[in-house]
Amino acid sequence: MKDYKKIITDIIYPPVCPVCGDVIPIAKRKPWYEGKPCYSTFLCAPCKGNLRFLEGNVCEKCGAETSPGKTLCNVCEEVARCFAGGKSILAYDGVARQMMMAFKYSGKREYADFLTYAAAERAGSWIQSLHLDAIVPVPIHPEKRKARGYNQAELLAQGIATYTGVPMRDILKRNKETNASKELGLHSRVFNLRDAFSLKGPIPKGKRFLLVDDILTTGVTLESCAELLLYEGNADAVYVLSLCSGK
Ligand SMILES: [Zn+2]
Ligand SMILES: [Zn+2]
């Protein structure tokens, strides 16, 4: 069945290759409209080769890239994580970095189409295996959301929810923008983010969540949100998914 809502959205936000910016020809978009997306519906073939998908040497806790032979990344070796596990889709370098900057800061909300497809294709079976109750986006401050027009993590969470059939629940809020100063040590950065987030309201106990964010660097943002769901929300387990990870 054709997705007419999608076709209309495409008139407003035509799908473009998130790497080179060329509009994807209508003939290539057809499989997507018919519910059979593939990489060529979102991305030029040469551009796909410019992205580095994470596989092999990845941290078993947060999903970020590790040094060969290591099971944990440098950060997870140093600090305890309260989330149960995580995955990350792309290395945050080269064109992936440009793509994420445009997605986040230049209004390229349509890039979410490719990003959520890549996440669902690479992590969909893992997501299904977690028996989740909901997918939860990392919130941004309301002022920032107003200025940007969207929360990039919410667009990602919504797309992944659509592909996997797990509902998206926007249950967290961001109370303040914190200065994620690189000079602060990791432990101080975790402390710095306490009170930055809160639950929008009470949530049922014993639920299983997947937190979604666009970029993971040290993971302190995801850690703070996971703490909140586990200790205030009495969640059973929290997992994390980031679209990109790296320094
Ligand atoms: Zn391209
Ligand atoms: Zn890690």
Burial label, 197 (beta-carbon count in 10 A; 0-12, 13-18, 19+) = buried
pLDDT bracket for residue 239 (50, 70, 90): very high
Residue 99 and residue 118 in contact, taking contact as beta carbons nearer than 8 Å: no
Instruction: Assess whether 12 and 74 both reside in one domain.
Output: no
pLDDT bracket for residue 138 (50, 70, 90): very high
Nearest to residue 171, comparing CAs of 120, 232, 85, 84? 232
Which residue, of 29, 50, 71, is where some domain finishes? 50
Domain count, the chain: 2
CA of 247 to the centre of ligand 2 (A): 12
Instruction: Assess whether 8 and 104 both reside in one domain.
Output: no
Q: Which amino acid is at 173?
A: K
CA of 238 to the centre of ligand 1 (A): 35
User: Does 237 or 35 have the greater pLDDT score?
Assistant: 237
- Mean pLDDT, rounded, for 156-167: 97
Residue 152, domain extent: 52-245
CA of 50 to the centre of ligand 1 (A): 9
- Mean pLDDT, rounded, for 7-24: 83
- Mean pLDDT, rounded, for 149-165: 96
Mark 112-139 as b/e (b = at least 16 C-beta within 10 Å): bbbbbbbbbebbeebbeebebbbbbbbb
pLDDT in tens, 172-222: 999 987 665 555 666 666 666 778 899 999 999 999 999 999 999 989 999
Instruction: Assess whether 104 and 178 both reside in one domain.
Output: yes
Measured distance between the N- and C-terminal CA atoms of the chain, rounded to whole angstroms? 42
The rounded distance, in Å, linking the Cα atoms of 103 and 109 is 6
Q: Which of 84-93, 150-159, 173-182 has the lowest mean pLDDT?
A: 173-182
Instruction: Assess whether 39 and 81 both reside in one domain.
Output: no
Query: CATH code at 122?
Result: 3.40.50
pLDDT score, position 30: 85
Instruction: Assess whether 121 and 237 both reside in one domain.
Output: yes
CA of 21 to the centre of ligand 2 (A): 32
pLDDT score, position 175: 92
pLDDT score, position 25: 86
- Mean pLDDT, rounded, for 125-153: 96
pLDDT score, position 72: 96
Instruction: Assess whether 133 and 237 both reside in one domain.
Output: yes
Instruction: Assess whether 116 and 126 both reside in one domain.
Output: yes
CA 16, 48, 121, 153 torsion-angle sign: negative
Nearest ligand to the CA of 39 is 1
| 245 strand-pairing partners | 91, 216
pLDDT score, position 225: 95
Please say if the pLDDT value at position 1 is more than 70.
Answer: no
Please say if the pLDDT value at position 44 is more than 90.
Answer: no
Instruction: Assess whether 77 and 33 both reside in one domain.
Output: no
CA of 95 to the centre of ligand 2 (A): 23
Instruction: Assess whether 15 and 72 both reside in one domain.
Output: no
Please say if the pLDDT value at position 26 is more than 70.
Answer: yes
Nearest ligand to the CA of 64 is 2
Which residue, of 17, 35, 50, is where some domain finishes? 50
Instruction: Assess whether 172 and 205 both reside in one domain.
Output: yes
pLDDT score, position 183: 58
- pTM of the predicted model as reported, rounded to 2 decimal places: 0.91
Which phi-psi region, left, alpha or beta, contains residue 22 (left: φ > 0; alpha: ψ -120 to 50)?
A: beta
CA of 72 to the centre of ligand 2 (A): 5
CA of 167 to the centre of ligand 1 (A): 31
Instruction: Assess whether 97 and 149 both reside in one domain.
Output: yes
pLDDT score, position 186: 67
User: Does 161 or 4 have the greater pLDDT score?
Assistant: 161
**Mean pLDDT for the chain overall:** 90
pLDDT cut 70: percent of the chain above it: 93
The rounded distance, in Å, linking the Cα atoms of 152 and 160 is 13
CA of 25 to the centre of ligand 1 (A): 12
Instruction: Assess whether 38 and 146 both reside in one domain.
Output: no
